[in-house]
Amino acid sequence: MAVDPQPPAPALDELVPARLGVALAHCLPECRLELQGNGESVVVGFCREAAMTPCAAYRAVAAARRIDPGLLADLLGLPAGCRVRARMAGEEVEDAHVGLGVYRFSNEDAWGFVFASTLPAGPLRAVVLDRSALALTAGDAERAAVVRAATWFAVPDELIGVTICFCELPPERAQLVTAAEALALEVAGACVVEEVT
């Protein structure tokens, strides 16, 4: 009796950096996303030096994900076959980056944090609930206040396989921004662990 060979281990998704980058570029209009490969780069954004809008880069990533990941470099105008890396750039974005791919934002309606994850929305929401429950039971009044005041949104984008996570505080709770940042970093870190396990 012949034994079936073991299926090959799944390859790491080489589109992940570009998928996360273009998802964030849509959420952070003041940012510049640099997609790089073999020493060349394409600037994505709404700035003067951008060669591509976030929408065009999104369409390229979605097409490469659907058809062939190897096409991404060519669709972006980078050397064919190169591995594409993503880097958020721009003074505003660097000031807003708090770590682990989490970015701070504010407007007249809210203070908040945003990050992108390859987790589907359901598991991402479970991580938020788990970390919120831990914050409520830890005996830290400020973290508990963040859990009560913050609104979390998990917005799935199935076309590129990314979920955008927002944590928003109303403007009258601005004094909780530092504690909310710590909780957003904790949630993002837990998402990274879930992604790789």
Pair (101, 186) in one structural domain: yes
Pair (33, 50) in one structural domain: yes
**Domain residue limits at 156:** 97-196
List pLDDT tens digits, range 78-115: 998 888 888 887 666 777 888 788 999 888 888 899 99
Q: Is residue 7 part of a domain?
A: no
- What DSSP character marks residue 75? H
Pair (103, 187) in one structural domain: yes
Domain stop point among 30, 64, 89: 89
Please, which residues have CB within 8 angstroms of residue 69's CB and are 6 or more apart in sequence?
A: 13, 14, 15
Q: What is the DSSP string of 85-122?
A: EEEEESHHHHHHEEETTEEEEE-SS-EEEEEEESS-HH
Domain stop point among 89, 113, 148: 89
Domain stop point among 34, 62, 89: 89
pLDDT exceeds cutoff 90 at 196: no
Q: What is the dihedral of CA 37, 40, 43, 49, to 10 degrees?
A: 180
Pair (85, 111) in one structural domain: no
Pair (113, 159) in one structural domain: yes
CATH code (residue 181): 3.30.1360
The 32-37 sheet, strands edge to edge? 40-45, 32-37, 85-89
Q: Using 50, 70 and 90 to split pLDDT, how confident is the model at 2?
A: low
